[in-house]
Structure 1
Amino acid sequence: KLVETSQQSQSHFYPILTIIYNCSTNAKDPNLRILDVRNVPLDYIAGHVPNAVNIADTAFRGPNGFLPVQYWNEQKLEQIFTASGVTNNSRVLVYSDDKDVLGATMVAYLLERSGVRDIAILDGGYTGYQASQPVAKEFPRYTPGKFTVRDKPSVRVTLDEVKNLIGKPGVTFIDPRPEKLFRGEENIWVRNGHIPGARNIPWPTFTDANNPHKLKPLAEIKQLLAARKIDPKSEIIVTCSTGREATLQYVVLKHLLNYPKVRIYEGSWTEYSTTDLPVATGAEQAA
């Protein structure tokens, strides 16, 4: 079985980024599906975790008739997960490499959002794995089963909900984008800046400097959050550029640190910037 290095969360979501994958004990588990979500096909072909199926994280998003790079609808997500060999009863291990840890956390989030209960992300990603365990070039043969999305709206907030949460006591917005994007100093969107009151905690502050696919020790992350006066009991909304960066901090806060009320604003700044809702620029002004 998967060897866990920290306490499993009550939601049965395996502790993200704290999993040691052992080929010899997992290779024959018919209920385990391994998803290699790296975006360059030749990287997968050149070597991968044994029995891993490659499905690029970019395959999970596209235009929705107005906004770009939004998560696909339930029908398309069902098709993607089914084609990848995932069923509703699968245990799923996800990995990518380097800064694309965000792709791994994004796919893990979408699995949770779709009703899968047993999910893990490989600590250290492919770089960490190949440093100590054998890799494969053979492609696994499998028969796609049936996957049905069992939507969990409780993991996310809509634009209307965001509108009602801005400035509300007990609510904290965390924005993990780079500082210049948060401050509105780069001219990318029609309106640039951040949601008023948001805290800017760039996502790399959670990860190892030498391997962005590996988390810093949880004690260090806890200290960082305490220094920023992030109350674990707050209602926390993580929002970023396109809903991808937010997934890493969502996963860490909810499933590793067990913060009870953490959700993602999937539309993030791509959607928010198209509205007439208030925009703040410059350094954060949170109390």
Structure 2
Amino acid sequence: MKLKYLLARLKKTKFFVLGAVFFAFLVIIPLLPFSAFSANSGTKIQFVTPAWVAEHSKDPNLRILDVRNFPLDYIEGHLPNAVNIADTAFRGPKEGLPVQYWNNEKIGQIFANSGVTNNSRVLVYSDDKDVLGATMVAYLLERSGLQDIAVLDGGYTGYQASQPVTKEFPKYTVGKFTVRDNASIRVTLDEVKKLIGKSGVTFIDPRPEKLFRGEENIWVRNGHIPGARNIPWVTFMDAQNPDQLKPLEDIKKILADKKISPSNDIIISCSTGREATLQYVVLKHLLNYPKVRIYEGSWTEYSAHKDLPVATGDEKVT
């Protein structure tokens, strides 16, 4: 009798476990945050040439974003089918802090109004020293869950030198863009606090040397996160065209000289979360460093917290 009873209980338990697993897949797992699965999201950001743009110009799924901040530059001439949305439109005040990224709903509306859908391939470009605007919007597209993103190497100037431009405005249907927030590619202030001085963690600060050293009186407190390595973002760019990347071998040497290894857990923090996006894209997507994240609040947020440590002068790497 006892044996029959135990077998019956075991059978019931087995069906209960199977039912629980089935329930989890149907109900619980879809409710988990997207970030739980985003580490292997498969997003690709590449730097492309004007020839690449010409080759893919007939792709009906390609959306081109001109993120130059002066509308008359766009009106005077732009890539065929490009939509102008200034990179400044993606940021504003948040809880008293300036130039913080808008919430996901507003970012999604901006992309949707620009003709972007969740299945679009998107090319982003800017000009002159505004390559940071292009990489910032590329980062936000990845952050929002888009898979296929490109940045025009050389920007508008480089494109115009070899390809025809237009003054005509594009015609398109506004679709739907749902932000699938990828939280795995950024860190919060609370996470930064825990990571300072931690073995295997490297902070990169791409600001100009004087800002890094705290020699310019801009913020309430000036300087850098203790232990950060200073690699000004301009060192990645060609001297003749600041919108065009140096060869990757040159960039690898810059990183090697600073003892930045692909094995590091890399956090990039700048002034406002914009400069950091260039080095994020290069290290993660072009050089395939496996763990690179951005501290979006950057020095604007960090320096406002008077309890946090601040270093000044040249970098001190232990």
TM-score if structure 2 supplies the norm length? 0.85
- Gapped runs of 5+ residues in structure 1? 1-8
TM-superposed CA distance for 1:10, in Å, is 8.9
Distance 1:273 1:24 in 2: 45
8 A contact 1:190–1:273 mirrored in 2: yes
Distance 1:174 1:187 in 2: 21
8 A contact 2:45–2:138 mirrored in 1: no
Q: Write the deviation string for residues 163-190 of structure 1: whole angstroms up to 9, x where unpaired.
A: 0000000000000000000000111110
In the alignment, what sits opposite 2:196? Answer: 166
In the alignment, what sits opposite 2:309? Answer: 278
In the alignment, what sits opposite 1:99? Answer: 129
TM-superposed CA distance for 1:11, in Å, is 2.7
Alignment of 1:158-237 (within 5 A): 158-237=188-267
Corresponding letter in the other structure for 2:42: S
8 A contact 1:32–1:93 mirrored in 2: yes
In the alignment, what sits opposite 1:6? Answer: none
Q: Percent of aligned pairs with the same residue?
A: 77
Residue in structure 1 matching 2:89, options 34, 49, 59: 59
Alignment of 1:71 onto 2:101 = yes
Distance 1:176 1:63 in 2: 23
Distance 1:63 1:209 in 2: 34
Q: Write the deviation string for residues 180-239 of structure 1: whole angstroms up to 9, x where unpaired.
A: 000001111101000000000000000001111110000010011111111111000000
Local SS of the residue matching 1:154:
helix
Query: Number of residues paired by the alignment?
Result: 278
Local SS of the residue matching 1:44:
helix
In the alignment, what sits opposite 1:148? Answer: 178
TM-score if structure 1 supplies the norm length? 0.94
Of Structure 1 and Structure 2, which has the larger fraction of its residues in helix?
Answer: 2
TM-superposed CA distance for 1:66, in Å, is 1.6
Residue in structure 1 matching 2:73, options 5, 22, 43: 43
8 A contact 1:238–1:262 mirrored in 2: yes
Distance 1:10 1:151 in 2: 11
Distance 1:251 1:25 in 2: 23
Local SS of the residue matching 1:225:
helix
Corresponding letter in the other structure for 1:277: L
Local SS of the residue matching 1:94:
strand
Residue in structure 2 matching 1:114, options 119, 144, 160: 144
TM-superposed CA distance for 1:161, in Å, is 0.2
Q: Write the deviation string for residues 68-88 of structure 1: whole angstroms up to 9, x where unpaired.
A: 000000110011000000000
Corresponding letter in the other structure for 2:227: G
Corresponding letter in the other structure for 2:137: V
In the alignment, what sits opposite 1:258? Answer: 288
Distance 1:139 1:285 in 2: 51
Q: Write the deviation string for residues 229-279 of structure 1: whole angstroms up to 9, x where unpaired.
A: 111110000000000000000000000000000000000000000111100
TM-superposed CA distance for 1:25, in Å, is 3.7
TM-superposed CA distance for 1:22, in Å, is 4.6
Distance 2:126 2:104 in 1: 23
Alignment of 1:32 onto 2:65 = no
8 A contact 1:102–1:248 mirrored in 2: yes
Local SS of the residue matching 1:133:
coil
Q: Which moved more, 1:172-181 or 1:28-37?
A: 28-37
Distance 2:57 2:236 in 1: 31
Local SS of the residue matching 1:211:
coil
Distance 2:59 2:295 in 1: 35
Distance 1:70 1:60 in 2: 8
Q: CA RMSD in A?
A: 1.3
Local SS of the residue matching 1:69:
strand
8 A contact 1:23–1:50 mirrored in 2: no
Corresponding letter in the other structure for 1:229: K
Distance 1:257 1:22 in 2: 20
- Structure number, greater radius of gyration: 2
Local SS of the residue matching 2:130:
helix
Distance 1:180 1:23 in 2: 38
In the alignment, what sits opposite 1:132? Answer: 162
8 A contact 1:19–1:120 mirrored in 2: no
Corresponding letter in the other structure for 1:41: P
